[in-house]
Amino acid sequence: MVTEETSLNAVELATELTIAWLSNQNNRVSADEVPAFLRTMHATVNELATGSSGTGSAAGEDAASGEDFTPAVTVRKSLASKDHLISLIDGKPYKTLRRHLSTHGLSPEDYRQRYNLKTDYPMVAENYSIARREMAKKIGLGRKPGQKPAGRKAASKPA
């Protein structure tokens, strides 16, 4: 009878946690991803309820399931445009991947590891990075206090 109560509580708790997570406006999830998230939440709640630490066989299962992730697009296609990166998770274009990855509970390192990417795989589109760099230089970021912008000196010499 105790295991019945525990499993019922685990189901209710997983449901409540899933509802709370979905009600957060920052989490954008398609309807197809909700059941998978609920299953994962239920498994985690059960694992915590049974008192297993998660460092034993569960960690091995996570590593094995890490191999099951198939990218939505090829790595070459994800880097094809300089204006955006295409996510290997959902195949959608993004200027920067950091926020997108956080909605999926991943860090850039986890993302690179999941899809066997090199450590220098970019998290920001090339043109977006260039535009941000130019904007920062234009407003004077990165200069020491009292230092004149290099662009103005060069412009005054030829005159």
Q: What is the pLDDT of residue 64?
A: 43
Q: What is the pLDDT of residue 52?
A: 61
Q: What is the pLDDT of residue 152?
A: 53
Q: What is the pLDDT of residue 30?
A: 83
Pinpoint the alpha helices (H) of 24-78: 33-50, 57-66, 75-78
Homologous superfamily of 71-142 = ROS/MUCR transcriptional regulator protein (1.10.10.1550)
Q: What is the pLDDT of residue 4?
A: 53
Pinpoint the alpha helices (H) of 51-97: 57-66, 75-78
Ranges in the chain, pLDDT < 50:
1-2, 55-66
Q: What is the pLDDT of residue 63?
A: 44
Q: What is the pLDDT of residue 150?
A: 64
Residue type, 109: E
DSSP state letters, 87-115: -TTT--EESBSHHHHHHTT--HHHHHHHT
C-alpha dihedral sign at 3, 7, 12, 14: positive
- CA-wise closest residue to 79 among 132, 110, 117: 117
Q: What is the pLDDT of residue 67?
A: 55
Residue type, 66: G
Return the domain boundaries, the chain. 1-52, 71-142
Q: What is the pLDDT of residue 74?
A: 93
Query: What is the percent of the chain where pLDDT is above 70?
Result: 77
Q: What is the pLDDT of residue 81?
A: 96
